[in-house]
Amino acid sequence: MMRIYKVLNNNAAVCKTEQGESFVVTGRGIAFGKKPGDQIENSDKVSVYTLSNQLLNEKFQQVVSNIPIAYIEVSEQIVNYAKRTLNKEFSDVVYITLPDHLYGSVTRYQKGIKLKNKLLFDIKRIYPKEYKIGQMAIKKLETEFEISFLPDEAAFIALHFVNAELGDDISDVQNMTEIIDGILNIVKFHFGIVFDDDSISYSRFLTHLKFFCYRMQTDNSEDDAADEMLPILEKKYPDTVKCVDKIVKMLKQNYNYQVHDDEKMYLMMHINRILQESL
């Protein structure tokens, strides 16, 4: 049994642990006619949200208070599916941003407002697993609300999971996507190759670039690892050096970011693996 501290609406309430920590309980009709001090029974129809900090907890309460329960339920189903599919845990921020986004999307489409996503192609290419989550999400929305969505909406939803994978510190996923796309294009055109989207090397390169962008935005990088290895790679792969130099120049000109030596080394290693597979 859980004792109610605050009723948010008929379908949600705030409860507290014996230590005084708040958590949110949702479920259709679970708080109907109830008041602080009343109890809610545990059941498979009740969802309990214990978010990682008080600020997120308060924001989630606002979301739950202001949107229909159907969006909270669909959002939870999508997040659980994403956890199983990607085998990852996500930042708690996804429990706030995703249902709010779903509610806004359905409302827009019901009014005939369909937004185009200019990064649709890049998101499908750079975040294929997250994009599949987005595709699953729009299928659930189409079934639940009898609306047909454009593929662009799957890409918008995918970005919520990209953001949640890397944590709350990433504030501009669109900017990150554009950086990755710019790097991929430099490699592609410098060597005149076509990426094999299904190859292990390409998948590893994308993963590295995602966290490279994370380090760019948090300025969290070290040079120690490159002390001995970088000169060896530069001597052995002069054409890869030219490619990486183009990347370094682009990031400096467009984003005022100085690439550290350790990142140059890892870029060279990943690019060389892709080149070996393309031979």
Residues 182 and 228 in one domain: yes
Residues 140 and 220 in one domain: no
Residues 96 and 117 in one domain: yes
Composition of the chain by helix, strand, coil, percent to 5: 60, 10, 30
CA distance 93 to 98: 8
Question: Which of residues 41 and 225 earns the better pLDDT score?
Answer: 41
Please give the tally of structural domains in the chain. Answer: 3
Q: Which domain covers residue 40, as residue numbers?
A: 2-51
pLDDT in tens, 159-209: 888 888 766 444 567 788 889 999 999 999 999 998 888 787 887 888 788
Question: Which of residues 73 and 55 earns the better pLDDT score?
Answer: 73
Report the half-sphere exposure of 31 (CA within 13 A, side-chain side): 25
Please give the model's pTM, rounded to 2 decimal places: 0.73
Q: Per-residue confidence at 220, pLDDT binned at 50, 70, 90?
A: low
Mean pLDDT calculated for residue range 126-151: 94
In a domain, 131, yes or no: yes
Report the half-sphere exposure of 104 (CA within 13 A, side-chain side): 11
Residues 270 and 181 in one domain: yes
Residues 264 and 223 in one domain: yes
